[in-house]
């Protein structure tokens, strides 16, 4: 087996680390201002009584998608879609969802919750995520031979799946997100 990084550098270069920190501070600031560092807001979304989480996510996806695809067209950025499979994303997604409801936070918002002073996140949820990640690493060799490979489709994007120009998918998705958000507001949700 190829091994890398044994006894070598434990940190990436300084500018990478600094940019990560700067982007993180902005991300955390926004998450807290949006109220999504709070258990009550996230559980409200999962109980379908408070749609803050969905509004934040969908408007981020709408704006992010238009900008990233515009910059991709200009040749400024490359996409980094994650590869996946039915076994990976359906089963993993459901497990994640169950944890999402029990914890009432996710890996990004729990960092924000800790900054907000929430102790159940700091002493319960945070070590829990570390333990869960470690358990997966222990089971990975077995899972990777089986369920994670089931229904593998690689790092496909929707325009590639439908074999069309990017904008043939981007524009309708943008319109659909906009209409969904508009409808949420009309319905008073």
Partner 1 sequence: MEFLTEVRWSPYTVGVGIGILSWFTFLISRRALGCSTAFAKLSGMIEMLFRGKKVELKPYYQKIDLVVGWQMMLVLGIVIGSLLSALLSGDFHWQAVPSTWESTFGDSVLLRAVFALLGGVIIGFGARWAHGCTSGHGISGTLQLAVSSWISAVFFFVGGILMANLIFRVIG
Hey, which residues between 2 and 21 contact partner 1 (CB under 8 A)? 2-7, 9-12, 16-21
What are 161-166's contacts with CB under 8 Å, separation 24+? 166/69, 166/72, 166/73
Task: Report in angstroms how near the CB of residue 31 gets to partner 1 at its nearest.
Answer: 6
- Angle subtended at Cα 11 by Cα 7 and Cα 12, rounded to the nearest 5 degrees: 120
Which residues inside 149-178 make contact with partner 1, applying CB under 8 A? 153, 155-159, 161, 166, 169-170, 173
Task: Report in angstroms how near the CB of residue 37 gets to partner 1 at its nearest.
Answer: 5
- Dist CA 28 CA 164 (whole Å): 36
Pick 93 or 183: Cβ nearer partner 1: 93
- Dist CA 50 CA 36 (whole Å): 11
Per-residue binding string, partner 1, 100-119, x by CB under 8 A, is xxxxx-xxxxxxxxxxxxxx
**Interface pick for partner 1 out of 73, 124, 176, 189 (rule CB under 8 A):** 124
- Dist CA 14 CA 133 (whole Å): 26
Distances (CA, A) of 15 to 20, 25, 59, 180: 8, 15, 30, 39
Pick 16 or 73: Cβ nearer partner 1: 16
Per-residue binding string, partner 1, 45-84, x by CB under 8 A, is -xxx---x--xxxxxxxxxxx-xx--x----xxxxxxxxx
Decide if residue 23 touches partner 1 (CB under 8 A). Answer: yes
For the chain, what is the largest distance between any 2 Cα atoms, rounded to a whole number of angstroms? 58
Q: How many residues bind partner 1 (CB under 8 A)?
A: 133
Task: Report in angstroms how near the CB of residue 96 gets to partner 1 at its nearest.
Answer: 3
- Dist CA 74 CA 53 (whole Å): 31
Pick 153 or 183: Cβ nearer partner 1: 153
159 close to 68: Cβ distance less than 8 angstroms: no
Decide if residue 180 touches partner 1 (CB under 8 A). Answer: no
**Interface pick for partner 1 out of 130, 168, 171, 176 (rule CB under 8 A):** 130
Task: Report in angstroms how near the CB of residue 135 gets to partner 1 at its nearest.
Answer: 6
């Amino acid at each position: 087996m190829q091994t890398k990084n044994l006894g070598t550098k434990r940190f990436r270069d300084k500018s990478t680390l600094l940019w990560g920190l700067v982007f993180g501070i902005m991300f955390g600031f926004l998450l807290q201002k949006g109220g999504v560092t709070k258990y009550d807001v996230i559980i409200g979304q999962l109980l379908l009584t408070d749609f803050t989480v969905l509004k934040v996510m969908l408007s981020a996806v709408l704006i992010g998608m238009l900008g990233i695809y515009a910059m991709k067209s200009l040749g400024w950025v490359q996409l980094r879609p994650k590869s996946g499979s039915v076994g990976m994303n359906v089963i993993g997604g459901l497990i994640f969802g169950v944890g999402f409801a029990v914890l009432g936070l996710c890996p990004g918002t729990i960092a924000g919750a800790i900054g907000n002073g929430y102790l159940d996140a700091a002493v319960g949820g945070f070590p829990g995520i570390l333990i869960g990640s470690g358990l997966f690493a222990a089971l990975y060799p077995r899972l990777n031979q089986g369920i994670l490979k089931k229904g593998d489709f690689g790092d496909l994007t929707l325009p590639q799946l439908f074999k069309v120009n990017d904008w043939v998918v981007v524009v309708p998705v943008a319109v659909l997100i906009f209409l969904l958000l508009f409808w949420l507001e009309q319905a008073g949700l």
